Amino acid sequence: MFDIPVADAAMFVGAVGALVPMWRAHGTDCRVRIGHGAMAVSMVAMMIPGVPTGIHLLGGAVLIALAVFVTGETMHRRTAIPCAVDLTAMGVLLLLAPTSAPAPAASAPGPGQAPSGHHHGGAGISTDWLPLVVLVCWALLTLHLFRSTPRRERRSGVKTAAAGSALMILGMAPMAV
């Protein structure tokens, strides 16, 4: 029926997840809305083929800066802190994405050719697991923030923020695996 790659579908779900808390934003600060809007734009930018890696690195740095902006002088801590967690985790994943992408297979140098690249003796430490660790920590922290809110204070805003975070985690999963 539709020929949509799984990664693009997951990122679309993540973009929707970034917008979900804005849907119930009657009790949130303008800073939180800006943060969620930036995450939605970032998720949509990941779906565009051929975007230079530098754009994603810049986006990751902007998301981390927005996490600091969101938590500054806001009255709505119950929505600002989960938003800051989402911004930070997504920003870190964007910063790690270029380093976790599989490198093209290098051909062995022929006779008389020096190996290309900067090599030290021994195998290097692989960082392929770092995005997965960030994703798992993001999920656990989101669950903790939701569960630590007293049941009587879990209004629709807290539930909506947790649902949006879960959708964004799902959307960023293809980057981590």
What is the mean pLDDT of each successive set of 10 residues along the chain, which is 177 residues long? 71 89 68 89 87 88 93 73 92 78 47 46 62 93 87 72 89 82
Helix, strand, coil shares, percent, the chain, to 5 = 70, 0, 30
pTM of the model: 0.78
- Give the DSSP per-residue string, 38-61: HHHHHHHHHHSTT--HHHHHHHHH
- The whole-number pLDDT of residue 30 equals 82
Q: Give burial (CB, 10 Å; 0-12/13-18/19+) of 164.
A: buried
Note whether 80 and 71 are within 8 A (CB): yes
CA distance 143 to 148: 8
CA distance 25 to 32: 9
- The whole-number pLDDT of residue 64 equals 95
